A and B are shown apart, each in its own frame.
Chain A
Amino acid sequence: MSVRDNTLVRYFLQATGYAAFIAVIGYFSTSPAIQVISSDESVITMAFAHAGKTRKSCHRLSQEELMKLAPNMRKAEDCPRERSPIVIEMLLDGEPIYSETFQPPGLFKDGSVDIYFSKRVPVGRHLLAIKMDDSVRTPGFDHVFEQEVSLQPAHILLVSFEPLGGFSVRQ
């Protein structure tokens, strides 16, 4: 009797086929597991949105300049929309771990920049320094932050920025 004619053998082979199918699905649905971060690492994440200062300051139009404009376009001050690029640097224990320059987005280069940076670093106490230059009208960095931080295993140290309050960190 051939395998085709033996119902029991065929059922057994079918069961084997189904078993192989669910074994593949069962295994790869959770395995192999991945180690996202090791136990001696922590993460520093910097996330905020910020608009650089305008490249040029507003200037009051003279009577002569005003007269050159159409009546409906006349206003006392001309404020160029284009913003400064944002230069940002992060140092950990004096070593640079991040440095980036963001050009302002938008047709008129007047949008705010979304900044997101995340990096794995060793746990323990570190000196964290962040510098940001957001104006081409003033030399050097406009915002400087420095603080000793204690990084816990698998914890995220979040760095954020508020225009009025400056940089802050929280865990």
Chain B
Amino acid sequence: MNIRKLSVPVNPVKRVFLALESWFNLSFGEQWNPMYHLGTLSFFLFWVILVTGIYLFIPFHGSINGAYASVEYMTHEQWYAAGVMRSLHRYASDAVVVTVCLHMVKEFASGHYQGFRWFSWVTGIPNLWMVVTLGITGYWLVWDELAQYVAIGSARLMDAIPLLSGAMTRNFVAGEMTDRFFILIEFLHLLGQPLILLFMLWFHVKRLSNVKINPPRGLAVGTLLALTALSLLKPAVSHAPADLATVPQVIQLDWFYLNIYPLLDRWTEGQAWILSLAVTWLITLLPWLPPKKDGAAAVVDLEHCNGCELCFDDCPYDAISVQARTDGRKFEKEIVVIPELCAACGICAGACPSSNPFRSRNRELKTGIDMPQLPVDRMRTITDEAIDSLTGELKILVYGCEHGFNVNRLDDSATRGIRLICSGMLPPTLVEYALYKGADGVMVAGCRYNDCHYRFGNRWLKQRFDGKRKPVLRGRADRRRIHVHGAAETDGREIQRELEQFRVQLAELKQAVPGDVVLDAGGES
């Protein structure tokens, strides 16, 4: 196989992420790979911040004169309990900025921000603002020199907003700061902002189904242990107490949250706002720069739908709903597709028990829910043509998807790649059919496991093949002649290696059992 044929151009940022993911797959395994759990890790860190924050609130003294002393008491007198909690609170907050930013850049590099995904992308941006402002108000509460620096910088920024009174900065001249203002910030940090953030997070995942907000337990424990180790190695400490009659000379800045403030030494507040808002707007508008048209939405054919709800269960984007039957047939329910939510991934077609190629063999195969751009009938025809075109001794079909490795690059006299929209749209019976029609082996190479472009395509496929999810791959299909291996665009060599091993396995099998294994043509209608 020509190696150049296997290498494909991928944008540099995505290439970096794919390389990172490969390394993490090696060390953490596909289940615990943190790159596949950046969103849930962010949720987990939020819970850590919440729990440690509640703990810290108990000994915290919420007043200008008492705050600093109470934080110092926690840090030094009770370093083993409240001190560790304070450090964990700080470092989990920093870590959440890292995971959220990585999450955003990864989704961007993977093209997961356009088309039907605009909603999740756009609703994620206010979350980032809320996370940062929540961190900023947290720094005020220590009321040390850093808090003073941040408070004055924040007040200058707020005063630059035309509709506000412009009087906020005057709170931070000597003798003017009051407990009333401090308690307002405390209320914002402890209650107002976290509640708003939680609400916005709910909004962010609203158009997804089967939402998971917890990372795998092992990854969560590992992350918590790592942050605890950091808390013990480098405990979070305060600067000198705030003194509004002086200017702090040196500030050890938390660059994850406070990176805008040094700009205020060189720029006006207006320029800092323009930069922040321009970046925010640019990121917000990315889904439409340029706009991307999604494929045609799935179409329901009630003639072939019995309302079994398997497609409803498998849709990753909540684009399918169930309602009472309207066509008078004996079934209780029917399926309805919500076109504006449909990702056009075809996973529903793979889930439909009517997508059985053994049915209607001499006429058009119709199924309960299908993709206009690649109907199940067309998938069956392509499969037939591919098998007929193979001349090699061991005929292998490789089903792939549009977002993983391009399986057409594996084509030779004995191998034929068939690209589907998503590997999850492959009905298990079509694999069975391919073997029955003369393929010696079938390989499925969708996206890397846990990193499906359509969230669950390759996972549902594997569960169907393993008999854990309906419609299952039937027992009569010879598992030794079926191989599933996820591969990204850059995994050409790896997929080539897997294919060669599979070919050797098939050759050994053919030697041991000469002649074709003939399957029953089950499911004929």
On A, residues with C-beta under 8 Å from B are: 3-4, 10, 13-14, 16-19, 21-22, 24-26, 28-39, 43, 45, 47-49, 114, 116, 154-156, 158, 160, 170-171
Chain B residue at smallest Cβ distance from A23: B230
Interface bits B6-36 vs A (CB < 8 Å: 1, else 0)? 0000000000000000011011110000100
Does B254 lie at the interface of the complex (its beta carbon under 8 Å from any beta carbon of A)? yes
Q: Considering the complex, which residues of chain B in the window 236-268 have a beta carbon less than 8 Å from any beta carbon of chain A?
A: 236, 244-256, 262, 265
Chain B residue at smallest Cβ distance from A12: B27
The residue from A29, A49, A155 contacting B167, defined by CB atoms under 8 A apart: A49
Closest CB in chain B relative to A41 CB, distance in Å? 8
CA distance A57 to B166 in the complex (A): 28
Q: Say yes or no: A35 contacts B26, CB within 8 Å.
A: no
Q: Say yes or no: B245 contacts A114, CB within 8 Å.
A: no
The residue from A22, A154, A156 contacting B249, defined by CB atoms under 8 A apart: A154
Q: Considering the complex, which residues of chain B in the window 294-341 have a beta carbon less than 8 Å from any beta carbon of chain A?
A: none
Q: In the complex, what residues of B have CB within 8 A of residue A25's CB?
A: 91, 94-95, 98, 227, 230, 256
Closest CB in chain B relative to A69 CB, distance in Å? 34
Q: From B24, B29, B226, name the one whose CB has the most chain A CB atoms within 10 angstroms.
A: B226
Closest CB in chain A relative to B354 CB, distance in Å? 39
Q: Contacts A21-B95, A36-B247, A114-B165 given; indicate if A30 touches B254 (C-beta within 8 A).
A: yes
CA distance A24 to B247 in the complex (A): 29
Q: Say yes or no: A10 contacts B27, CB within 8 Å.
A: yes
Q: Say yes or no: B249 contacts A47, CB within 8 Å.
A: no
CA distance A28 to B254 in the complex (A): 6
Q: Say yes or no: A116 contacts B159, CB within 8 Å.
A: yes
A-B pairs with beta carbons under 8 Å apart, 17 shown: A4-B26, A10-B29, A13-B26, A18-B226, A22-B91, A25-B94, A25-B256, A26-B234, A30-B254, A32-B253, A33-B252, A38-B249, A116-B166, A116-B169, A155-B247, A156-B244, A171-B245
Q: Say yes or no: B26 contacts A3, CB within 8 Å.
A: yes
Q: Say yes or no: A156 contacts B247, CB within 8 Å.
A: yes
Q: Say yes or no: A154 contacts B251, CB within 8 Å.
A: no
Q: Which 10 residue pairs of A and B lie closest in terms of their CB atoms, listed nearest first?
A: A13-B27, A18-B226, A30-B252, A22-B230, A114-B166, A116-B169, A28-B255, A114-B167, A47-B173, A47-B170
On B, residues with C-beta under 8 Å from A are: 23-24, 26-29, 34, 90-91, 94-95, 98, 149, 156, 159, 165-167, 169-170, 173-174, 176, 222-223, 225-227, 229-230, 233-234, 236, 244-256, 262, 265
Q: Say yes or no: A29 contacts B226, CB within 8 Å.
A: no
The residue from A10, A36, A48 contacting B248, defined by CB atoms under 8 A apart: A36
The residue from A13, A29, A43 contacting B90, defined by CB atoms under 8 A apart: A29
A25-B256, A35-B250, A47-B173 given. 10 additional CB < 8 A pairs? Answer: A10-B27, A18-B226, A21-B95, A28-B94, A30-B252, A30-B254, A35-B249, A114-B165, A116-B156, A158-B173
Closest CB in chain B relative to A161 CB, distance in Å? 12
Q: Contacts A26-B230, A36-B247 given; indicate if A16 touches B253 (C-beta within 8 A).
A: no
Q: Say yes or no: B159 contacts A154, CB within 8 Å.
A: no
Q: Contacts A17-B28, A155-B245 given; indicate if A29 touches B256 (C-beta within 8 A).
A: yes
Chain B residue at smallest Cβ distance from A21: B226
Q: From A24, A25, A154, name the one whose CB has the most chain B CB atoms within 10 angstroms.
A: A25
Closest CB in chain A relative to B170 CB, distance in Å? 5
Q: Say yes or no: A18 contacts B222, CB within 8 Å.
A: yes
CA distance A118 to B277 in the complex (A): 25
The residue from A43, A114, A156 contacting B159, defined by CB atoms under 8 A apart: A114
CA distance A18 to B256 in the complex (A): 18
Q: Say yes or no: B167 contacts A26, CB within 8 Å.
A: no
Q: Say yes or no: A16 contacts B90, CB within 8 Å.
A: no
Q: Say yes or no: B98 contacts A22, CB within 8 Å.
A: no
CA distance A3 to B262 in the complex (A): 45
The residue from A3, A14, A30 contacting B222, defined by CB atoms under 8 A apart: A14
Q: In the complex, what residues of A have CB within 8 A of residue B246's CB?
A: 154-156
